Amino acid sequence: MKLISSSEISRTSIFRVTFDRAIDPDGFEIKRAIVQHNGSAVMLPIDDRGRILLVRQYRLPARQYLWELPAGRIDEGETPLGAARRELAEETGLRAKKWQKLAVFYPSPGFLAEKMTIFVASGLTSGDATPMEDERIESRWFTSRELDEWIRKGKIRDGKTMIGFLRWKRYGASK
């Protein structure tokens, strides 16, 4: 596929929307409105007891509170790991000595150009959280068994949390 045109339709502080056209060598054309996003860093914090930290916050698009792995947008010029370090500290007050990449995926590639990178964060030390002014974050430690059960029962509805936990449980982190 070759991109033949892209025009901006809308812009916000978090993302922009473009209308893109692409064509393949046989002349097949795709036209799409695409949400352009810098990407997100997701953290799976594991303490020295093997527990996993989740955060709970109200998600306006979902119209409900969700338990999920801490995550945040990658700022312009920032690496996924740099964003992960910053976001973990901001949302939870935690800092990690060890970081391992766990997974990279596209949450909804039909219309969203966001790539999420999940990291396992360990060797944790505590500090003060500094969430953004529009964030009200609650956090809780879960055992692997508890989190597995919550996913099985449908209590976890956040995709990045299911992908991160189940990938970690099945395959561990990459080297």
Active site residue ranges: 133
Q: Nearest-CA neighbor of 104 among 121, 113, 116, 114?
A: 116
DSSP H stretches of helix in 19-155: 80-92, 144-152
Q: Nearest-CA neighbor of 21 among 10, 13, 12, 29?
A: 29
Contacts of 79 (CB under 8 A, 6+ apart): none
How far is 17 from 8, CA to CA, in rounded Å? 6
* Phi, psi torsion values for 169, nearest 5 degrees: -65, -40
Q: How many CB atoms are located within 10 Å of the residue 160 CB? A: 18
Coil/strand/helix, residue 61: helix
